[in-house]
Each structure stands twice: as structure tokens, then as C-alpha cells.
Amino acid sequence: MDLLGLLGILLGIATIILFIIKKFNIIIAAPIATIVVLLFNDVPILESVFGKENSYMTALAKFVG
């Protein structure tokens, strides 16, 4: 893991903490923090968040359901 990826993880944690302090809903805050982490780790965002299999939104939908 390179330094930029580690910075992205720390920034994602800071993002979710800031949104929770500002009284955002966790269902909105978590995907935004996830996108921040994905941006810094050079991962394909659309495929990881909105893909058909093994994506964040698919797992979130199963959890909520």
C-alpha cells in the first residue's frame, strides 16, 4: 500500500466522522466516504460502487433488505 492509499483511508475515516458530527444520515455518509477512499486508491469507482456483483451498493441493498 502506498502513501496516497493510506492517506485516502484516513481521509475517508475523517469524512465519515465529519458527516456524523454534522448530523448526516449514515446511509448518505457511508457511500460518500467510500467514494473518497476509492478515489485515492486508484480503484475503478463505477465498477466498485454500482457494479452487478460484489459491489458496495449490492451489499448495502442486501443489508438493508
CA distance 59 to 62: 5
Q: Are 45 and 38 in contact (CB under 8 A)?
A: yes
**pLDDT value at residue 53:** 75
pLDDT for 32-65, tens place per residue?
Answer: 998 899 888 888 877 777 777 777 777 878 888 8
**pLDDT value at residue 50:** 74
Please, which pLDDT band fits residue 1 given cuts at 50, 70 and 90? low
Give the residue extent of every domain in the chain: 3-64
Mean pLDDT of 1-5: 81
Mean pLDDT of 6-32: 92
